[in-house]
Amino acid sequence: MSKSIFKYSFSLLHVDYVKLNHHWNYDNVISPYYRLYYIDDGIGFISDSTQRLTLEPGNLYLIPSFSICNLNCDAYLSQYFIQFFEESPDGISLFNNNRSVMKLPASEIDILLIKRLLKTNPGRGINRSDNPKVYEKEAYYKEYQSLNNKMKTHHQFENQGILLQLVSRFLSSKDFKINNSQLVPSKILDTMSYVQLHISENLTVAALAKRINQNQDYFSKQFLIHTGQRPLNYIHEKKIERAQYLITTTNNTFLEIAMDTGFSNLPHFSKIFKQILGLTPGEYRNQNTDLK
């Protein structure tokens, strides 16, 4: 395996064991972090744009960050859940090509690892409310990141090791699509990283091509060949992904979010947002008010 795979790391946000009922019923859930469930009793459902899976005992479920899904329990469901952030120096997600729910049978080791993570991280549940309107706030994310930073070194290593082992289970899944970054020219990879790290700027295709000393038409064709997207589409997608995060986790105005994501004005931001998601920023915020 390429050494580049080990640039990815994960940091714990929440871990807990909960018993749910019919109140656990949320549509269009989207978060800037990963969710991992282990179901030990009851029945629930999880769906996205392509599939509907039954949450059933003995299975693991992984929801990558920025994956839209629906969660539902008709009567009773008990689960261990872990929520965690992904960290990558170039901002490109390990699951960049896998924005859908994945399911695997849980092994004995998986269950032991999850219970160990819960035991060694007490008080890391969603203690305020199960309503994301309450708990999905940037201030609370920073609070839990601060807890991670205060941990002893051996504890940080253990948390990281457990998360890496659990995530690794899904890398061998038939549902996981390999990101063949080693086949992508270095200048294209560098550009993708640059876009991720400069989302707040007014990025143009001409400037990106000039930055790597390529003709704009040649650069655009190469980018399309190796990523499947035109450069401008990629820029817009990443800007709107960041905007989704800000809408979900802050009370910033849409104008503030437009400025923070490098749009020159609110109408342009709203137009691109609706083109990509099919919703206006206002409709998106309203939908996410009652999410889980």
Q: Which domains does the chain have, with CATH numbers?
A: 3-171 (2.60.120.280), 184-290 (1.10.10.60)
Task: Give the integer Cα–Cα distance in Å for 96 and 93.
Answer: 5
Average pLDDT over residues 79-102: 80
The proportion of the chain whose per-residue pLDDT surpasses 90, expressed as a percent, equals: 47
Find, among 157, 167, 164, the residue nearest to 120 by Cα. Answer: 157
Q: Model confidence over 233-271: pLDDT tens digits?
A: 999 988 998 898 788 778 889 999 999 999 999 999 999
pTM: 0.66
28 sits in which H/E element:
strand 25-29
Q: Model confidence over 106-121: pLDDT tens digits?
A: 999 999 999 999 999 9
User: So what's the pLDDT on residue 175?
Assistant: 66
Please state, as a whole number, how many other Cβ atoms lie within 10 Å of the Cβ of residue 144.
18
Residue that wins the pLDDT comparison between 194 and 97: 194
Mean pLDDT of the chain: 84
Measured in degrees and rounded to the nearest 5, phi and psi for residue 69 equal -155, 170
Task: Give the integer Cα–Cα distance in Å for 229 and 146.
Answer: 37
User: So what's the pLDDT on residue 5?
Assistant: 52
User: So what's the pLDDT on residue 139?
Assistant: 57
How far CA 251 is from CA of 193, 207, 283, in Å, comes to: 28, 32, 15
Which residues are 29's β-sheet partners? 69
User: So what's the pLDDT on residue 89?
Assistant: 60
87 sits in which H/E element:
strand 77-87
User: So what's the pLDDT on residue 141?
Assistant: 62
Average pLDDT over residues 141-161: 81
Average pLDDT over residues 181-205: 80
**Residue 170 predicted with pLDDT over 50:** yes
Q: Residue 106 has what DSSP assignment?
A: P
Average pLDDT over residues 83-88: 84
Average pLDDT over residues 53-78: 91
Please state, as a whole number, how many other Cβ atoms lie within 10 Å of the Cβ of residue 45.
16
Stretch among 80-84, 108-112, 190-194, 228-232 having the lowest mean pLDDT? 190-194
